[in-house]
Amino acid sequence: MIHPIPSGTRDVLPDEMRELRAITERLRDVFNEADYGEVYTPALEYEAVVTRGELAGVRPAYRVFDENGNVLVLRSDMTVPIARVVATRYPTAEPPLRFCYFAHSYRGVRPQRGQPREFLQAGLELIGAAAPRGTAEALTVLCRSLDAVGLARYRVGLGDATLYPALLESLGVAAADCERLLEALARGDFVGLEHGLRELETDEESIRLLLAVPQLRGGADVLHGPPGPVADAVAGLRAVHALLDADVAEHVIFDLGLSRLPGYYTGAVFEVYDPALGMPLGGGGRYDNLLGEFGRSLPAVGFALEVDRLHLALAAEERL
Amino acid sequence: MSSTNGLVIAVPRGALFEPTLAWLGELGIETDELRSNERKLLFRDLGLITMRPSDVPTYVAAGAADLGITGKDVLMEQTDSALPGVGRDVYELVDLGFGRCMMVLATTDGADPAAEALRRLGVVRVATKYPRIAARYFEATGRQVEIIEVKGSVELAPLTGLVEAIVDLTASGKTLRENHLVVREEIAVCTARLIANPVAHKLKAAAIDELLERARAA
């Protein structure tokens, strides 16, 4: 008898499980070594709790009612639940706090695409460590983790979520237009971005700047190019870069066009690439305002890696 | 290194084939072999692969090609706006300008049967090869619609009474006129777009930027 399972979900059998387990064990060793304590939180949360504030994360895709009529959601990431844990369980603990996790999260899928509804993330959150030192620590553990997994050719793209909004604001673009333009940038729709900019009736020089900045990506030399309005964000990236050891820095590429969803990022953002795979392996960034939404205002940074994608990239690198 | 800077470019067969080869030619990329060999799909030495336009985003999204050329109509149809922010499949880098077509709503000529159906039946039946574009357009304009997806000649559907209207791509309007159909509404202008795999856009930045530089200079 064949019994179906929902699209976007899958069974893992022993041969694959052994390989996945080997990856997560190596990650766990690195996280332990760096003093990150492992936590687990419920897959189900109250919707009212995880969507509080203006800084909502990825909108949860699955909702159920409990016996009292409360709306429960399946978590869409681990960052928001850990923010809740910090505010609730560690209201007075001396920061910094270091947590790591290996947990499944749940997101909606596009029809006709092989995207998972349920996926295993391995990640960490560093709470109460401000930029640039906290960011540099997270990037260092990230690179050590990818080294330990056995990936040789990965790169970490490093950008700043405030860079493009600051640039738009400095050029006097109205808030309503900013939202539309940032959305085009987040989609990677550079044609839409240009069309949107042309409609603003701003001067040609500003348009050229607004089109050129998100295309600046590569080695540390891109941090020397861009002028005035983005200087703060770029100085922040330079400060992070200066704190990285050489064996970490050699994996970092700078990307002034990098913008990441969800919308709670407030500074440095990063994304992990491997030439063997057409999609990012994971990513993260600073979210200095999220903890405040839960009543314990602390700067924070974190990242999450998708274990299945690490596995795919590892398999593909082995074939090369 | 080949003139594609070691990049793999997905080239669409069909109406966009010739203008795409002309554009690649302007960049100094060798394309004669593609013209002379219609059955061959993979030109590894040239860094080019050929396929249906609607498959281009699939290959580029998966990283099987670094860059690709396809119509905006294909990109619009394959984007699901209901789930914003779920994955960025491909980057849309450049409006190449060629392959210009119009996505239109058309009906038989004379009194508008779509307006009549909406008024009396509350819903209009629309045949199309672009179900998502059609559904989004009717939703955005506040009208109820029943989408009927067809694979072949869409013009047949309103002539046989299957539907009151069609949503389709038209270049010159000739096929519509020959079937006594008229354009009632223009939905979007569609031109060819250069798309990129997001990871390739980061990791092969120098190669891609150099190619775009050549395109601007051409």
Q: Decide if A239 is inside a domain.
A: yes
| A256 → chain B, closest CA residue | B202
Residue A9 tokens read as: 């979900």
**For residues B7 and B14, what is the distance between their CA atoms, to the nearest angstrom?**
22
Task: Give the CATH number, domain containing residue A303.
Answer: 3.30.930.10
Residue type, A195: H
Closest by CA position to B49, among listed B36, B31, B25: B31
In a domain, A307, yes or no: yes
pLDDT at residue number A263? 77
Please give the pLDDT value at position A231.
80
Contacts of B63 in chain A (CB under 8 A): 277-279
| Partner residue opposite A217 with nearest CB, options B63, B88, B205 | B205
Calculate the CA dihedral of residues B10, B11, B15, B19 and round it to 10 degrees.
130
The whole-number pLDDT of residue B88 equals 52
Average pLDDT of chain B to the nearest whole number: 91
For residue A189, is it within any domain? Answer: no
Beta strands A155-160 and A252-255 are: parallel
Q: What are the chain A neighbours of B206 within 8 Å (beta carbons)? A: 218
Q: Are B67 and B199 in contact (CB under 8 A)?
A: no
Top pLDDT among A317 and B211 is at B211
Domain that holds residue A295: 14-161+216-319
A137-141, long-range: CB within 8 Å, 24+ apart, which pairs? A137/A34, A137/A301, A138/A284, A138/A301, A138/A302, A138/A303, A139/A240, A139/A244, A139/A248, A139/A252, A139/A270, A140/A244, A140/A245, A140/A248, A141/A30, A141/A31, A141/A34, A141/A36
Q: B81 and B131: one domain?
A: no
Distance from CA of A217 to the nearest CA of B (A): 7
The pLDDT of residue B85 is 41
What's the mean pLDDT in B77-93?
67
Residue of B nearest to A212 (CA): B209
Q: Is A107 within a domain?
A: yes
Residue of A nearest to B75 (CA): A189
Predicted TM-score (pTM) of this structure: 0.90
A199 alpha-carbon distance from chain centroid: 31
Residue B1 within a domain: no
Task: State the pLDDT at residue A111.
Answer: 55
Residue B4 lies in a domain: no
Helix (H) or strand (E) holding A159: strand A155-160
Q: Does residue A254 belong to any structural domain of this protein?
A: yes
Q: Which residues contact A294 (CB under 8 A, 6 or more apart)?
A: A52, A83, A84, A86, A87, A88
Mutate to test the interface with A, among B92, B194, B199 (most CBs of A within 10 A): B199
Task: List the CATH number of the domain containing B140.
Answer: 3.40.190.10
- Tens-place pLDDT, residues B24-74: 999 999 888 888 888 889 898 889 999 999 999 999 998 999 999 999 999
Q: Over 60: is that where the pLDDT of B1 sits?
A: no
A213 CB neighbours in chain B (<8 A) are none
Residue ranges of chain A with per-residue pLDDT less than 50? none
| Dist CA B23 CA A291 (whole Å) | 51
Judged by a CB distance cut-off of 8 A, whether residue B102 touches chain A is: no
Please give the pLDDT value at position B105. 97
Domain assignment present for A180: no
Which of A:280-299 have CB within 8 Å of B? 280
pLDDT, tens digit, for every residue of B161-176? 999 999 999 999 999 9
- For residue A16, the model assigns a pLDDT of 96
CB-nearest to B85 from A58, A155, A194 is A58
B83 and B106 in a common domain: no
Is A195 part of a structural domain of the chain?
A: no
If asked whether residues B31 and B95 sit together in one domain, one would say yes
Q: Do A111 and B205 touch (CB under 8 A)?
A: no
CB atoms near residue A301 (< 10 Å): 29
Average pLDDT over residues B123-131: 96
Residues B14 and B95 in one domain: yes
Is residue B150 domain-shared with residue B125, that is, in the same domain?
Answer: yes
How close is the nearest chain B Cα to the Cα of A300, in Å? 23
**Over the stretch B128-154, which tens digit does the pLDDT of each residue have?**
999 999 999 999 999 999 999 999 999
Cis bond upstream, residue A262 (ω within 30): yes
Tell me the C-alpha distance between B129 and A60, whole Å. 32
Which of the residues B79, B193, B201, B204 would you substitute to probe the A interface, choosing the one with the greatest number of A C-beta atoms within 10 Å?
A: B201
How would residue B84 be classed by pLDDT, with cut points 50, 70 and 90?
Answer: very low
- Indicate yes or no: CB of B86 within 8 angstroms of CB of A191: no
Number of domains in chain B: 2
Q: Give me the pLDDT at residue A205, please.
A: 87
In a shared domain, residues B140 and B84: no
Say if A62 is an interface residue toward chain B (CB within 8 Å): no
Chain A residues inside the 8 Å CB shell of B93: 190-191
Q: Are residues B41 and B85 in the same domain?
A: yes
A185 in a structural domain: no
At A33-89, the pLDDT tens digits run 999 999 999 999 999 888 876 665 677 889 999 999 999 999 999 999 999 999 999
Mean pLDDT over residues B11-30, rounded? 94
What is the count of structural domains for chain A? 1
Over residues B172-185, the mean pLDDT reads 94
Determine the residue among A109, A110, A193 to mutate to test chain B binding: the one whose Cβ has the most chain B Cβ atoms within 10 Å.
A110
* Chain A contact set for B83 (CB, 8 A): 108-110
- Å between B3 CA and nearest CA of chain A: 20
* CB-count burial class (<10 Å; 0-12, 13-18, 19+) for B48: buried
For residue B59, give its domain range.
9-99+191-217
Interface A-B, measured as beta-carbon pairs within 8 A, has a size of: 78
**Do residues B45 and B118 share a domain?**
no
In what helix (H) or strand (E) does residue A144 lie, and over which residues does it extend? Answer: helix A133-149
pLDDT for residue A292: 93
Q: Closest-CA residue in chain A for B209?
A: A215
* Chain A residue at shortest CA distance from B208: A215
* Cross-chain Cβ contact B92/A183 below 8 Å: no
Instruction: Classify residue B18: in a domain, yes or no.
Output: yes
Taking an 8 Å cut-off on Cβ atoms, the answer to whether B92 and A277 are in contact is no
Nearest by CB to residue A186, choosing from B80, B85, B202, is: B85
Residue B206 to residue A218, Cβ atoms within 8 A: yes
For residue B83, tell me if it sits in a domain: yes
Is A74 near chain B, with CB under 8 Å?
Answer: no
Same domain? For B113 and B89 the reply is no
**A319 CB within 8 Å of a chain B CB:** no
Is residue B94 located within the same domain as residue B195?
A: yes
The interface residues of chain B toward chain A in range 123-162, judged by CB-CB distance below 8 A, are: none
